[in-house]
Structure 1
Amino acid sequence: MSESTVEIEYCVPCGFLDRASDLQHLLLRTFGERLDGVTLLTGADGVFRIRVGEEVVYDKFEDGNYDPDEVVREVRARL
């Protein structure tokens, strides 16, 4: 995966689709053509994880305090 590709893995049974979709739109609005893509990946077991390239920039299990602005800062630092 390219370093300018973001993956958002979200828990379907938990109802995290709206959160994942909102973040996808925020990242596309913020970075536009600097990103090759922002992909949504379905998951389970409470997952909500964001990767830029192969690097995890947010994982709900490691940091329960989800802040979209912090995710944007982390993505920006890797582009």
Structure 2
Amino acid sequence: MAEPRIVITYCTQCQWLLRAQWYAGELLTTFAAEVGEVALVPATGGMFRIDVGSECVWNRKRDGGFPEIGPLKRLVRDRIAPGKDLGHSDRVGS
């Protein structure tokens, strides 16, 4: 079975590349053994979304802004590695 692909789609007009890169680095560091790829996809129109496989786990317009890294890691973990301990990121409010 192929490992999951995470896609971060970001708005180039809004200059969100650095934000997208930071999220990608955090997810690659945390899920190095569980993820097959993290892709950055340029878009326009204020788009910022994060997909794990075919499921959108975060959409800036739908979910209201950008995710904190702790909750984002939990959303990703729950889909690709439910038993993985995230240490301090598992604490509520992280």
TM-score class, shorter = over 0.9
Higher strand share: 1
RMSD, matched Cα: 1.2
TM-score by length of 1: 0.92
Deviation string 1:19-72 (CA, Å, 9 cap, x unpaired) is 100000000000102100000000000000000000000000011242222111
Contact 1:3 1:53 (8 Å CA) reproduced: no
Q: 1:31 to 1:15 in 2, by over 3 A?
A: same
What is the aligned-residue identity percentage? 36
Matched positions, count: 78
Q: 1:43 to 1:63 in 2, by over 3 A?
A: same
Q: What runs of 5+ residues in structure 1 fail to find an aligned partner?
A: none
Matched residue SS, 2:72: helix
Partner of 1:74: 75
Partner of 1:63: 63
Runs of 4+, deviation exceeding 2 Å: none
Which structure has more RCO (C-alpha within 8 Å, separation ≥ 6)? 1
Contact 2:3 2:34 (8 Å CA) reproduced: no
TM-score by length of 2: 0.78
Paired with 2:9 and 2:63, the residues of 1 have a C-alpha distance of: 15
Q: What runs of 5+ residues in structure 2 fail to find an aligned partner?
A: 81-94
